[in-house]
Structure 1
C-alpha cells in the first residue's frame, strides 16, 4: 500500500480538516454512514472531521436531520436524512433471518405478522419503551424459553421490532437523545421512500460506497454491503469504474475520483487524528493491513501475542497520521485521561500529536463522558487494554 494512497483515503474521509464547518448530515453524506451500536463512534466520527460539539449532534438527531437506522447487512448506522429511504431499502431483508430462526422454534410467520400489527397499534397513542410495549401486548408476545435463549432470542418481540424498523414503519428514539447508549422508545414513522427499484438501490449504494472511499476492491464493496457476487457485479457495471493509476492493482474508483487521485499528492506535513475503532476510514474497507506500513506489520499489539498486521479489527481506538496507523488509544474513566501508545518515534516527539490527544481527551471528558467501542464495552471490561497501553505508552 502506498503512502499516497493512504493519504488519499484520509483526504476522502475528511480527516485532513477539509470538512470543517459542515453540518453533520453533509459530513455523513460525503464520508459514509457512521457505524453505531451504542459506542462513541458516531460522535467521534463528526468531531474528528469538524470539531462539532456533542450537543450540536444531538440537536441534529432530535430534528431528524440524522438518525440511527438498520441498514446494510442489518447493521445500524447513523445516516443523513437524504439517505433514509436508501439505507432502509438495502437492509430490509436482514431481519428475515430471525423470522426463520423463531420459525424453527415453532412460531409461524402469521404469528409474527399479527404481533407486528399489534405493536403498531400499541404505539399509535405515543412512544413506548420495550417494557411498556411488552405489558401492553400481553399474550401476543411469546416467551421462547430455554430453546430461544440458546438461539439468542428470548421472546418474539425483538423479531417484530426488527421487521418494523427495517420496513420503516417503526422508529426507535434514543433515550436522552444520546447516540452512545442502547436505551430506546419506539414510535410510528411515516418513513421516506427511496423511489428506487432494488436493483437501482444497490447501484446507488455502490456509487456512494466508492465515493466515500475514493477507491476500493469489489471484495471490499461486498463486505460492506452484503451483496451477492452477482448483485455486486451488476451494480458496479453501471458505474463505469476504473483502476486508480499508480495505486495497488485491483482498486477501482469512480472516473472523477480516479482523475482527482492522479492529481493528488500526500501532504508533507504530519497531520494527526484520534478516531474510534469503528471509524469509516477503518471499517468501510476493513483492510487494516492497508493502513499499516510494512515495517510495522509485525509489531506486537500490547497486551496480546498477535502482530498488528494479523488483526482484522483493532482491539482499541486508532491514531492516524495522513491515513497511516501509528498508534492505539483508550479512555480511562477513572483518571479522565486518554491512555495512548505510538510506535512512530517521530510522532511521539511531535507536539502536534500531543495537542490532538489533549483536544480529543477534553471532548470526551467534558462532552461525552466515555469512549466505549460498543454498548457492551465498560470501564471494567477494558481495564486490561488500558493497562497494556499504559505499560508501553503514555
Structure 2
C-alpha cells in the first residue's frame, strides 16, 4: 500500500467543484474507458446499480459500455449479475464476486420484518420453521426441474404454515408471515428471487433454492471491504457520504477507514474527501477533458446516487435555471433524469411512451452533441425497453406533469 509520504501533493485550488465533477465522471466510466466491457466488469468498476423496479440498471450499462438489455438479461439468467438486498437493506444489482459479502452486509435488514412480527405476537421459532418449509418446497421444485415459485404458489403449497396477520399486520406492512421468512432465506443465500420475465425493470418475482457459500469473514472485515470499494467507485467521499451509503456508525466508519489506509484530502470548497492513496496519485495526474461529452442518465445513476450529492452536479447557471421548479430538481433525489456533460448536469429529461419520445430541456441551447445523444437514447429505449421507468410505481400517467413542465420550459 502506498504511504502518505509517497503520495503527490495536489494543490487545494485545483480541487474545485468543476474539477471534482469531471474526476467523478471519469471514475464512473462515463468518458468511454469502459466501452466494450461486460456488465459484471462495469458494476465492479463503478459500483452497484440501484434497481427498485426501474430501468436505471439498463441505462447504467448502456451509457458506460454500450450493453443492450438482452445481453444484461442473459447475465442475470446465468447469475453473473444479480439483484440482492445489501447496503442499508436496499436492493442493488451486483456482480457475482460481490454476492456473498454484499448479502452479509445487508443481512441485518431481514431482521426488520421479523421484529414487526415479533411485536405482533409471532414467535421467532414459527418464522424459522416456516423458512425451513419454504426451503424444502423450493428444493423439491428444483430437483424436479420445476420453474421458480411465486409467493402465491408458495402459500398454496404451505397452507396453514403461512399465518395471515389481519388488519393490524396490514397496518404495519406485515400481511402474512411469508415475506419475513423469504427475507431470512434470501439474506442467508439459501434462496434467491428471480424476475418473472427475466427483466430487472419490474418488481414481480418468483423464488428458487440457492446454495451461496458464506464469506467466512467477520462483519468488521466486510465493512472495511465495503468502504474500500465505495471509495474506489466514487474516487473519494466525505464521511457523511460514506455513512449514508453504508449506514455504518461513526465508530464503524472510522475503523474501516483506518484499516484500509484511507487518506483525507481537503478540497477548495473546504470538504474533506477520504480517498485511497493510489487514487490520490491518479487524481494528481488527471486533467479535465476539454471537449463536450454528453450522456443521458437515470436519476438514480451511481454518479449521483452513491454519494447522494446531485446538487453538487449543478453549476451556478444550472442552479438558477431549476430554482422554483416543482418536485426536487435540486434535492438529493432528482425529480427528473439528468442530462450530463463531464459530470455537470446541463438539463433534464423524461420518457413519453405515448409519443415514443424523450421530453427534455437544457439550461442553455442544446448543442449538436446533445441532440445526437438524445436521439440515440430515445432509439435505444424504444428498441430495448419500450418505456423508461424510474421505479416500480412510475407510470406514463404519473410523469405527465413532469413531461409537460419540461416541454414548457424548453419552449420558453
* TM-score normalized with structure 2 length: 0.91
Bigger mean CA deviation after superposition, 67-76 or 143-152: 143-152
Question: Partner residue of 1:194?
Answer: 215
Whole-angstrom CA distance in 1 between matches of 2:154 and 2:63 = 38
2:95 equivalent among 74, 77, 80:
80
Q: CA deviation at 1:117?
A: 0.7
2:315 equivalent among 277, 289, 293:
293
1:320 equivalent among 334, 340, 349:
340
Question: Partner residue of 2:400?
Answer: 383
Question: Partner residue of 1:34?
Answer: 49
Q: CA deviation at 1:246?
A: 5.0
Confirm or deny: 8 A CA contact 1:144 1:155 kept in the other structure: yes
Question: Partner residue of 2:9?
Answer: none
* Residues 335-386 of structure 1 deviation map (CA, whole Å, 9 limit, x = unaligned): 110001111x2xx331001111111111111111111000011111111111
SS in 2 for 1:106: coil
SS in 2 for 1:123: helix
Question: Partner residue of 1:271?
Answer: 293
1:354 equivalent among 367, 371, 385:
371
Question: Partner residue of 2:183?
Answer: 162
Q: CA deviation at 1:305?
A: 7.3
Confirm or deny: 8 A CA contact 2:266 2:272 kept in the other structure: no
Question: Partner residue of 2:34?
Answer: 19
Question: Partner residue of 1:130?
Answer: 151
Q: CA deviation at 1:2?
A: 1.8
Confirm or deny: 8 A CA contact 1:10 1:322 kept in the other structure: yes
Q: Which runs of 5+ in 1 are unaligned?
A: none
Q: CA deviation at 1:247?
A: 4.8
Q: How many residues align?
A: 389
SS in 2 for 1:187: strand
Question: Partner residue of 2:106?
Answer: 91
1:213 equivalent among 234, 239, 242:
234
Q: How has the CA–CA distance of structure 1 residues 161 and 32 changed in structure 2, closer, same or farther, with 3 Å as cutoff? A: same
Question: Partner residue of 2:161?
Answer: 140
SS in 2 for 1:297: helix
Q: How has the CA–CA distance of structure 1 residues 305 and 163 changed in structure 2, closer, same or farther, with 3 Å as cutoff? A: closer
SS in 1 for 2:406: helix
1:251 equivalent among 263, 273, 281:
273
Q: How has the CA–CA distance of structure 1 residues 51 and 24 changed in structure 2, closer, same or farther, with 3 Å as cutoff? A: same
Whole-angstrom CA distance in 2 between matches of 1:165 and 1:128 = 14
Q: How has the CA–CA distance of structure 1 residues 332 and 9 changed in structure 2, closer, same or farther, with 3 Å as cutoff? A: same
Confirm or deny: 8 A CA contact 1:210 1:253 kept in the other structure: yes
Whole-angstrom CA distance in 1 between matches of 2:72 and 2:265 = 35
> Cα RMSD over matched residues?
1.5
Tell whether 2:260 aligns with 1:239: yes
